[in-house]
Chains A and B, each alone.
Chain A
Amino acid sequence: MKRTTAAWWFVAPALAVIGVFFVLPVLAALIVSFTDFDIYALADIRNLRFIGWRNYVRLLETPLFWHALGNTLYFVAVGVPLSIGASLGAALLLDSPLARAKSFFRTALFAPVVTTLVAVAVIWRYLLSTRYGLINYALGGLGIPPVDWLGDPHWAMPAIILFAVWKSFGYNTVILLAGLQSIPQDLYEAARMDGASTVQQFRHVTLPSLAPILLMVSILTIAGHFQLFAEPYVMTQGGPLQSTVSVLYFMYEEGFKWWNLGSASAVAFVLFLFIFAVTLAQLRLAPRPAVAA
């Protein structure tokens, strides 16, 4: 009896915080998304009206929302494979028995992950500068004319993707490295005895063994990429020509610049639905391991 009471004292404070400041707002967000909550309702709640699906319908009629959705999908579709590819490559290098100074390299590759996103975005803005940026200077050395990275609508998103890969690939590298290290060496030995080449070993031993971790990594990375916000906020302010407005950036402006809080909540739910649907699709489409380990 006493132990049960004590248990409640241990969990109650944390559950109360999560309930009041996370669960309740999530449920409330659904309700708010069906209202015309705006600056007038903010001043006096009696101005609030329920308007059914109108926020959602109006979103579908807003070109900028579609634009933001398209930009975000571009960021996810190009950025995620690049990021996971870079992580896998780096993890394979770090796992190689030929590699020296592994802990130094691991720390070096991971360093951008812990840095403050806003601060490194500021650094990259200068590295990407058209006239004095080192990236254009280096390209100039190869005979490539300067690119207006953050000022050209065609290059702004690729530049942000490049930056995002730099910032985050170290995270998945560490996780994939742990996965690689847990693959039993016998499997490789058996494959070698069957005369498998290095490439065949990678395809038939490494990738299948890594599949569950790769699935988890891709789910988390895609969810993370859908939440693009600070990069365009700092580097481009959504420009040029709105080519880097993301869904979350659109939601931020809608909600906290124009105070259309009802509409902003609808945007948040659409984003959530997208993340949820893509996660489910990955879980469904992922090849099941033939034999349960």
Chain B
Amino acid sequence: MTRLPARMLVNGALLVIAAATLFPLVWMVAVSFMTPGEASTYPPPLVPRDPTLSNYRELFARTGMARYLLNSVLLAVAVTALSLALNVAAGYAFAKLRFKGRERIFRVMLGALVIPSQVALVPLFLLLKELGLVNTYGGVIVPAMASIFGIFLVRQYALAIPDDLLDAARIDGASELRIFRSIVVPALKPIIVTLCVFTLLGTWNDFMWPLIVLSDQHLYTLPVALASLSREHVADSELMMAGSVVTILPVLVVFIALQRYYLQGLMAGSVKA
């Protein structure tokens, strides 16, 4: 039978690929527990000889990591909460409420998706400077409060809400806000969780815009701080790996806990488009 060798080939190949994707992450964790200088020996060690927490201690004591972590958490939570509120309301309206120009506005928005956000970078910076938001949390939060992608995702999902359900509530005299809160939001819960994970991870990982708009070190998010630290501490691989663990671990945990929603959203957002 050719079955057994084929099975070994397929699973063996998958094992090799998975090892390649996971190895750098496992190696990062191992090195973060090594004593300073240990990783810069030959042959490169894979396991710490004397596992130590000193890199993490140094990271939080000397580089202000606690502050960056706080900034990242604060910004990710604020952007996620605000943009969810705005995108869900708008996505629902584009799917289920009638207003003048609805289809035209929606088509224009979809067309605008092809414009890379970097085109807007320079004027956005000037605008936020004018508004006094450069070098504040607001500089990161305000432009991210709504997204075309988020509205699109919610709209696609909301199209499936039956009109009869909404009309019945209207006949019962429920206000539009009430209908939104007690019928629409519960019906949209899966896509809300999806969008929540997307926004949380996207904001956490974002680099270019925070790098531009936050020049005060106390406001740095983890990626901006890590990029700047890695230029200063080129030789301290153990310290930098501890910093990478602090940056990556939260997103990996969120992803693994909620990956069902994340992967569903990925498919809804791309395959349907």
**Real complex partners, A and B?**
yes
A-chain residues with CB within 8 Å of residue B61 when the two chains form the complex: none
Q: Are A14 and B123 in contact (CB under 8 A)?
A: no
Most chain A CB within 10 A, of B17, B124, B205, B224, is at B17
* Segment from A61-69, A74-82, A184-192, A249-257 that makes contact with B: A249-257
Q: Are A10 and B271 in contact (CB under 8 A)?
A: no
Per the 8 Å Cβ criterion, residues 192-227 of B in contact with A are 201, 204-205, 207-208, 212, 222-224, 226-227
Q: Within the complex, what minimum Cβ distance (angstroms) separates B257 from chain A?
A: 12
Per the 8 Å Cβ criterion, residues 96-155 of A in contact with B are 96, 98-100, 104-112, 114-120, 122-127, 131-134, 137
Instruction: Select one of A116, A229, A261, A279 contacting B126, CB under 8 A.
Output: A261
Q: Are A269 and B18 in contact (CB under 8 A)?
A: no
- Identify the closest chain B residue to A133 (Cβ): B44
B-chain residues with CB within 8 Å of residue A230 when the two chains form the complex: 207-208, 223, 227
- Identify the closest chain A residue to B234 (Cβ): A125
Between A and B, how many residue pairs show CB distances below 8 Å?
Answer: 284
Asked if B168 is at the interface of the complex by the 8 Å CB criterion, the answer is no
Instruction: Select one of B87, B124, B259 contacting A107, CB under 8 A.
Output: B259
Q: How far is the CA of A133 from the CA of B14 in the complex (A)?
A: 25
Q: How far is the CA of A22 from the CA of B180 in the complex (A)?
A: 27
A-chain residues with CB within 8 Å of residue B31 when the two chains form the complex: 126
Q: Give the size category of B's interface with A.
A: 35 or more
Q: Give the size category of A's interface with B.
A: 35 or more
Q: Are A94 and B42 in contact (CB under 8 A)?
A: no
Most chain B CB within 10 A, of A123, A237, A268, A271, is at A123
Asked if A24 is at the interface of the complex by the 8 Å CB criterion, the answer is yes
Instruction: Select one of A109, A116, A175 contacting B204, CB under 8 A.
Output: A116
B-chain residues with CB within 8 Å of residue A170 when the two chains form the complex: 21
Q: How far is the CA of A234 from the CA of B17 in the complex (A)?
A: 25
Most chain B CB within 10 A, of A11, A26, A112, is at A11
Q: How far is the CA of A227 from the CA of B206 in the complex (A)?
A: 13
Asked if B75 is at the interface of the complex by the 8 Å CB criterion, the answer is no
Asked if B148 is at the interface of the complex by the 8 Å CB criterion, the answer is yes
B-chain residues with CB within 8 Å of residue A118 when the two chains form the complex: 205, 207, 223-224, 226-227, 247
Asked if B162 is at the interface of the complex by the 8 Å CB criterion, the answer is no
Q: How far is the CA of A46 from the CA of B201 in the complex (A)?
A: 42
* Segment from A1-9, A200-208, A284-292 that makes contact with B: A1-9
Q: Are A13 and B86 in contact (CB under 8 A)?
A: yes
Q: Are B10 and A96 in contact (CB under 8 A)?
A: yes
Asked if A157 is at the interface of the complex by the 8 Å CB criterion, the answer is no
A-chain residues with CB within 8 Å of residue B126 when the two chains form the complex: 28, 32, 261
Q: Are A22 and B208 in contact (CB under 8 A)?
A: no
Per the 8 Å Cβ criterion, residues 96-120 of B in contact with A are 97-100, 102, 105, 109, 112, 114-120
Some 15 contacts from A to B, beta carbons below 8 A apart, are A7-B98, A15-B105, A21-B127, A21-B143, A32-B126, A94-B14, A107-B259, A108-B22, A131-B40, A216-B271, A230-B208, A251-B118, A268-B118, A272-B116, A279-B114
